[in-house]
Structure 1
């Protein structure tokens, strides 16, 4: 069986699909990834064949146009994030409009690829519309691959009008194909209503060299601090200034994982108990941590849930406020405005036994779900 994975640009959209892609490959099926920008190189590093479906500059222009010029960008991102959170557990029209534009930019090459490769099944990331387009064009099923804690029965129907440009350009009826939905968390953890196949979230954070200190027992509690891959590029790392100033007064070791390209100069001199690191796979890093402080990106949130590690979420924009609210609601962590973080809050996250117990129980529950390999048979049957 040939399976085409169509994925929105960005590691947070690609990484959750890698485990299912390799489950299909291990079962003997052919897999091809259609994505753009950062996702292309990341798919290749994951050992998968990939096709770039839009220039990175075109994708960057869409997102930069959404968040505006650098001056005041961090503030605008947070205000729009709050606006998205007020949608009440539903994907906000702002996100649908933005990813509709992204899908239009990726549509032409994805259609050409699909006509050449003729997949029998299409798996698409939640906010990718090109998968719906090519599945309807080829009359094959489409499988929506979730990456967060939202479920919405009417999501695809609400997304469809924002995809009209690509459908019309390729003379495909503006209709949904045959569909299935994969959720990557237990139903009781998810916000909203919707049916789907539950699948275990198997963290994939790319490869990387694990430093010696990581696999040695820490002398005191270790706290991971990260802002993912998008926030440092669009908003900078200034949101961590207060946290790092407070870290010096907390009896813990802080690991500052901001990637290779983040500009740390704005943070000034780091306290002695803060260790900056380059790219390090998130999942093995979390295994040695007593807590994680992060921006609320879906990939970091889901990986921390799978690891059973208490979270302190400092949302910066997009759907991060939604994730932060769900973390607090389920008792697996806390949320805060970045500028309100102090040593008392950091110490409280480390000491809170109720939060730690809830986080560990959530990880056990997530581990009970079917693994990606267990869904391969259902996907084959869906494709007929």
Structure 2
């Protein structure tokens, strides 16, 4: 079977698809990833074959243009109501118009039997409908976006669908969901479960992999965009607050270009260049992060309590759901995120109160019981 993988021009949107793509390739299927240039290095890093389509997108630049002065994401964007969450996919609805002329020739040349894409890649539905190819969407976790976004996409892209001879924007044949059912939003449409297998990019097992005996280790991973979008003061405050807790070591992933701006770090705070999280999460006792889908599910896979500091979009829902099941604490307002005492108290609670660890481990066990990417790949090959 020939499988075409399509993705938005954001590397982390692609990494969610890698374990399934690996499973399909390992089973002998021909897999090709087609995407804009932003993601080509990530495709190559995953050991996959890529074809470039369209122009460089540079998503961070588009978001930066909407920031107010030197304010970070959380200080600029308010949390949206559930019915408004589709607005976060508006950029991908517009982008479908841009990439459609590039995708159609690629599809017709490769002649796939199946298209796999993330759940807000709407051009996949247009090319799949036009060529009579089933499209499988893959969520990246807690999903407040795709339902309202699909309604907006069907209205906004109706003219393109008509030009292709379609009655409207087709729905995906199937939606794969790596989110443990107890963590998923009740409002999300039911999906086919697929176990989340972390792929956080390639890397080398670091020399600091194992902590000192008796030291509690906390990982801080606040996302590349958080730092790039006026987030340096925020990240510095978080690291300083974490360092006030006795007996812990903090491992903070951060692009080296920001180290000087962050300034000298307190004792027991180690800045490291971006390192695949799955290489050291097994040595950690808790994780502090921004509510990204990949980070939250990787921490879930390792049974770690999570302190979530959401900045925008679906990150609020991710934090809220983790808190609801007891596996995390979410501080979703600017005042809480900026207060060192509040940050330290929340992290200390995750480290010292056993109910958080118990809930996180139960969530990890639930994830482990979901069908593996290999099992899902075999099922897809049989049905499509």
SS of the residue 1:189 aligns to: coil
C-alpha separation in 2, matches of 1:127 and 1:81: 21
**Does the CA contact (< 8 Å) of 1:141 and 1:177 recur in 2?**
no
Task: Figure out how many residues of one structure are paired with residues of the other and give that number.
Answer: 375
For residues 298-313 of structure 1, the aligned pairs below 5 Å read 298-313=293-308
Shift, 1:197, TM fit: 1.0
Pair 1:26–1:176, CA change in 2 (3 A): same
Gaps of 5+ in 2: none
- CA distance, structure 2, for counterparts of residue 318 and residue 99 of structure 1: 14
1:317 to 1:153, Cα distance in 2 relative to 1, 3 A:
closer
In the superposition, the TM-score normalised over structure 2's length comes to 0.90
- Paired position in structure 1 for 2:25: 25
Secondary structure at the aligned position of 2:77 is classed as helix
Q: Take 2:132 and 2:84, find their aligned partners in 1: how far apart are those partners?
A: 27
Q: Distance in 2 between matches of 1:382 and 1:105?
A: 31
Which residue does 1:226 correspond to in 2? 221
- Contact kept, 8 Å, 2:252 with 2:269, in 1: the verdict is yes
Offset, 1:92: 1.1
Asked whether the 8 Å contact 1:4–1:34 carries over to 2, the reply is yes
Question: In structure 1, what is the Cα distance between the partners aligned to 2:241 and 2:150?
Answer: 44
Q: 1:304 to 1:76 in 2, by over 3 A?
A: closer
Q: Which whole-Å CA distance do the structure 1 matches of 2:64 and 2:99 have between them?
A: 20
Name 1:238's counterpart in structure 2: 233
Q: 1:30 to 1:123 in 2, by over 3 A?
A: same
> Are 1:208 and 1:279, in contact at CA under 8 Å, matched by a contact in 2?
no
- CA-to-aligned-CA distance 1:126-184 (integer Å, 9 cap, x gap): 11112111111110111011111227667644433333465466565533056111111
Report the Cα offset of residue 373 of structure 1.
0.6
Cα shift readout 1:328-362 (whole Å, capped 9, x = no counterpart): 11110101142134333322221121111100110
Equivalent position of 1:80 in the other structure: 77
Alpha-carbon distance in 2 for matches of 1:205, 1:50: 18
Deviation digits for residues 38-87 of structure 1 (CA, Å, limit 9, x no counterpart): 3211011101011222222xx22x6534552555364455553512xx21
Matched, 1:137 2:130: yes
Name the SS for the 2:250 alignment partner.
Answer: strand
Greater Cα offset, 95-104 or 364-373: 95-104
Following the alignment from structure 2 to structure 1, what is the Cα–Cα distance between the partners of residues 355 and 130? Answer: 51
Deviations 1:176-207 (A, max 9, x none): 05611111123222102422211100111111
1:100-111 to 2 correspondences below 5 Å: 100-111=93-104
Name the CA shift for 1:271/1:378 in 2 (closer, same or farther; >3 Å). Answer: same
The answer for the alignment partner of 2:183 in structure 1 is 189
Partner of 1:161: 155
